[in-house]
Structure 1
Amino acid sequence: MAYWLSSIITVLVIYIAISIALYYLQDYMLFKPEKLPIDFQFDYENQETKEYNLETRDGATINGLRFFPKGESKGVVLYLKGNSKSIKGWGKFAVDFTRHGYNVLMVDYRGFGKSTGRRSQKAIKRDLQLVYNKLKEQTTEDRIILYGRSLGSGFAAKLASMNHPKMLVLDAPYYSLTKVTARYAPFMPLSLLLKYPLPTYKWLKYVQCPIHIIHGTHDKLIPFKTSIKLSKVNPKLTKLHTVIGGGHKNLNNFESYHTMLDDILNKIPKTIDLQTTSINVIHSSKPNKKKA
């Protein structure tokens, strides 16, 4: 056998082997779950909580935690977390919403915390729609805010595209997981291999509520330019909020993030009479000619 042919076959075998490994190991690379014993007790200082367990049609259990504000509630924030740990640790971020008078519901995806069941993109989407439906039994959709953080941003966008929440807030979102992973494996056929493509950009097209995107300029995992691109998908409904210097995991350490969140949650949008603005004024590119 010619040397060049042998080399091609060797490279092809290695390529196929890596592709197979990526397909079967991607769950372990993408998800970093923290499992909790069934009798684990959630406890947060100065936070009133209630634990829920929701049974799915395929026999899985989705565990969730609800945080209550002090005083009358303005609505509920369904907080869809990132790809690591469990709501045990993510619960500390609920205060950013309860302090504004909102209930917060956090749920663990399948295999996280106390939640059970075989994980897949389809199953998670179905689980979250079930959670959303339960919320609709308790309140009206105009009081439901969807907040998706990192991995959760794609699922939040999908939920918003299928329902009519008050608003959608995306925190450090990705264009699609296919695009994110392509940065690390540019020569692999990821569109065929990925079990979780999560095409956020496709779902955003069908969202009919206000969309707020929050992103840090120094995010190394999901670049800031991703949110610029996403903001153009449904521009009439989208507002991009920039955290100067913010990374992927530290936006909550910036005062500007909390100022933006306050603005998003509490300010009533005003209708602008564009006829009273300079919207139709065109800047002249040529100097005015002097009359003789």
Structure 2
Amino acid sequence: MAYWISTILTIVIVYIIISVALYYLQDYLLFKPEKLPKDFQFYYENQETEEYNMETRDGATLNGVLFKSKEKPRGVVLYLKGNSKSIKGWGKFAVDFTRHNFNVFMVDYRGFGKSTGKRSQKAIKRDLQVVYNKLKELIDEKYIILYGRSLGSGFAAKLASMNNPRMLILDAPYYSLTKVTARYMPFMPLSVLMKYPLPTYKWLRYVCCPIHIIHGTNDKLIPYKTSVKLSKVNPKLTKLHTVIGGGHKNLNNFESYHNMLDDILNKKPKEIDLQTTSINVIHSSKRKAKA
């Protein structure tokens, strides 16, 4: 009997140690920042850029780069990136929008690039609202497009739920970050431990603008079925775009991805008169009796 009690106590102690370690180490596991010196100069071939620094109410600095359209801009895309590197590398994706005559603004989260400050889910959400408000001072909100890539998809959904942008585009989004982590740690009490639960599905319920979800069928990190599930949260406003064979980090290498962006950014959805379609047609296998 003493042996079993000792074994159970050992398991409980190990479980508690792992839980505590997960709580305090998750920032290092989740975020893979690249820090840049204050005097670093951003340069992107064939792209005109302007760097900005914004101060937050708690004294942090948010560093961002505006990529300018070569022609009169049709609006601005607030691009919220993934969990690694800095906008030094992520800036290469701006061309996918400037080529359609949209300006693009990218910002580094706290602790990434030149941005400073103590990181938390609440702080990042507050920071991004500050950025959004700054954009609204420069351009009417109806010309702002929110684009969230991977980690940034949750924050983009939150911003869209609190504001009224032109549209929301989610690239390889997660249902919630707690769900993603649960795939690797199914026996841990993640609902209690996660400092960054990022419940995308909850925020999507309150989004009032068109929602476009782009996901690859070969995504090993965040399965494609996640976006199928998300598309059902706010179905009347959501359209799911599927990149056949696309993974988590390589959607930009697929021609279909760029065709999808072209459709999303340039083509206005047509109003359909459902009364002229087969939606209410009743099919019957029975023949009417002859008189």
| TM > 0.5 fold call | yes
* 1:179 aligned onto 2:179: yes
**Superposition deviation, residue 278 in structure 1:** 1.1
Q: 2:286 is matched with which residue?
A: 288
Q: What is the match of residue 208 of structure 1?
A: 208
The secondary structure found in structure 1 opposite 2:170 is strand
What is the deviation of 1:45?
0.3
Tell me how far 1:277 sits from its aligned partner.
1.0
Aligned residue for 1:104?
Answer: 104
Matched, 1:17 2:17: yes
Give the partner amino acid of 1:176: S
Structure 1 segments, 4+ long, off by >3 Å, are 289-292
Q: Does 1:121 align with 2:121?
A: yes
1:282 shift after superposition:
3.5
Q: Residue 152 in 1 paired to residue 189 in 2?
A: no
Aligned to 2:232, the other structure's residue is in SS state coil
What is the letter of the counterpart of residue 169 of structure 1?
I
What is the aligned-residue RMSD (CA, Å)?
1.0
Query: How many Å separate the matches in 2 of 1:283 and 1:201?
Result: 37
Aligned length: 290
1:235 counterpart SS class: coil
Q: Does 1:222 align with 2:222?
A: yes
Q: Which residue of 2 aligns with 1:276?
A: 276
- What letter is aligned with 1:224? Y
* 2:89 equivalent to 1:95: no
Looking at structure 2, the residues matched to 283 and 289 of structure 1 have their Cα atoms a distance apart, in angstroms, of 11
Match of 2:250 in 1: 250
Post-superposition offset of 1:129? 0.1
Shift of residue 214 of structure 1? 0.1
Q: Secondary structure at the match of 2:236?
A: helix
**Structure 2 letter corresponding to 1:250:** N
> Structure 2: 5+ residue runs without aligned partners?
none
Counterparts of 1:130 and 1:167, CA distance in 2? 19
Residues in 2 aligned to 1:241 and 1:161: alpha-carbon distance in whole angstroms: 21
Q: Identity over the aligned pairs, expressed in percent?
A: 82
Structure 1 residue 279, shift from structure 2 partner: 1.1
| Whole-angstrom distance in 2 between the partners of 1:270 and 1:70 | 29
Scaled by the length of structure 2, the TM-score of the pair is 0.98
Name the residue aligned to 1:170. 170
Quote the Cα distance in structure 2 between the aligned partners of 1:197 and 1:126: 16
Alpha-carbon distance in 2 for matches of 1:145, 1:50 = 19
Q: C-alpha separation between the residues in 1 aligned to 2:34 and 2:135?
A: 25
How far 1:289 sits from its partner (Å)? Answer: 5.3
Deviation at 1:283, TM superposition (A): 4.2
Distance 1:234 1:119 in 2: 30
| Unaligned 5+ runs, structure 1 | none
The answer to whether structure 1 residue 41 and structure 2 residue 41 are counterparts is: yes
Question: Under a length normalisation based on structure 1, what TM-score does the superposition of the two structures give?
Answer: 0.98
Write the distance in 2 (CA, Å) between the matches of 1:283 and 1:113.
Answer: 61
Partner of 2:55: 55
Q: Distance in 2 between matches of 1:110 and 1:74?
A: 29
- With over 3 angstroms needed to count, the CA separation of the structure-2 counterparts of 1:282 and 1:26, relative to structure 1, is farther
